[in-house]
Amino acid sequence: MHPTGPGSCRVTVAGGLDVVTAPDPRDTVRTAESAHDSVDVDCGGLTFCDCTGLSALVAVAGAAKAHGSQLLEVHVTHSGSPRQRMVVPVSEPGEGGVHGVLFDFAGTLFDDTGVLTAPRLVAKAGDRGVRLDEQVAATLIRRTLAYVDAPERGVAKEGCDLSPDAHRRIWTGLIADAGPFEPPLVEALYDCLTDNDAWLPYPDTLPVLEALSAAGVRTGVLSNIGWDIRPVFKRTGVLDQLNAVVLSCEVGLAKPDPAIFGVACERLGLSAGRVLFVGDDPVKDGAAARAGLPVYLLPSERDVRVSRGLTAILRLAGAENGRETAAQ
């Protein structure tokens, strides 16, 4: 905390902000408010921020604004590129609070770690006349993922979610190159990736959506995806809780383009400042902040058997009365 003039000061948040250190900036800002007329919070030195830290920053932003102050810029390290930093202006919701919540799909509401499995590949390959045992299938999956997820493949995947045709063309090309594999096996691997029956929700997905709906909060999904995932939502009961579904392959836009967040807010019938965006990718999902949406980022670690931590959204959306029900 540093004085900046008569009755004013600046609180600097630097280094890492996580579940251990998150209370510190909140306490410091409260102390500064009690002794100063104006308090600015500068997060320009922040190098890492997890979901708990981001919640703290949202709270700090609210406190700062209420005190006539401002939250300055926040730098977050991209988990995939430790040396790369992106600027995420963390903002609080508009004065009327959160009226809507937009969720990412893969890794946020539905698990993406169990889609490509050896048993599924054995079955899909068998449908195409290719016989595999599970050990071989597991080896093929590891080989494919190592290739397509390599950082140098990022350019090759650009535009893959802008249309179903682009998705199939780009992904089957990458899968084929990972082998090289024959066409039937390429198609079997692609079938696994796009099989709507393989996508499972986290334990807290439906309860939290139901709690938000009961509280009158409008909800939607905004996803970079190359095929229609509404059957996933219908099968799991999620579709009944959603007011909007925006898929990149249908609108020809993809995150981190700010325009797609505007499309999603329009579908919800709400202004950007009233819509909270929830995701897990600091770059693609964090870009919602550039479109004027407050952002809540989930941790990268996930397991389909474990709640994703979505109940925290109920507090941010003013729907805490649904927290107990959602946690059951």
- Between CA 18 and CA 208 the distance in angstroms is 23
Tokens standing for residue 95: 């004065």
- Between CA 321 and CA 26 the distance in angstroms is 24
| CA distance to 102, 116, 222, 298, per residue, from 295 (Å) | 10, 29, 13, 10
| Element (DSSP H or E) covering residue 48 | strand 38-49
- Between CA 169 and CA 282 the distance in angstroms is 27
- Between CA 301 and CA 231 the distance in angstroms is 26
pTM of this prediction? 0.74
Residue 120 pLDDT class (50, 70, 90 cuts)? very high
The yes-or-no verdict on residue 63 having pLDDT over 60 is no
CB-CB contact of 244 with 256 (8 Å): no
The yes-or-no verdict on residue 105 having pLDDT over 60 is yes
| CA distance to 102, 111, 237, 252, 288, per residue, from 230 (Å) | 15, 15, 10, 17, 22
Residue 29 pLDDT class (50, 70, 90 cuts)? confident
- Between CA 260 and CA 243 the distance in angstroms is 16
* Angle (CA) 8 69 98, round 5°: 160
Average pLDDT, integer, range 130-140 = 97
**Domains in the chain, ordered, with CATH?**
2-87 (3.30.750.24), 100-111+200-327 (3.40.50.1000), 118-194 (no CATH)
Predicted pLDDT of residue 88: 38
- Between CA 289 and CA 280 the distance in angstroms is 14
Closest by CA to 293, choosing from 251, 252, 263, is: 263
- CA–chain centroid gap for 261, Å, is 13
Predicted pLDDT of residue 34: 75
CB-CB contact of 144 with 117 (8 Å): no
Q: Which of 3-17, 228-242, 304-318: highest mean pLDDT?
A: 228-242
Q: What is the DSSP string of 275-310?
A: EEEEES-TTTTGGGGGGT--EEEPPS---TTS--ST
The yes-or-no verdict on residue 127 having pLDDT over 80 is yes
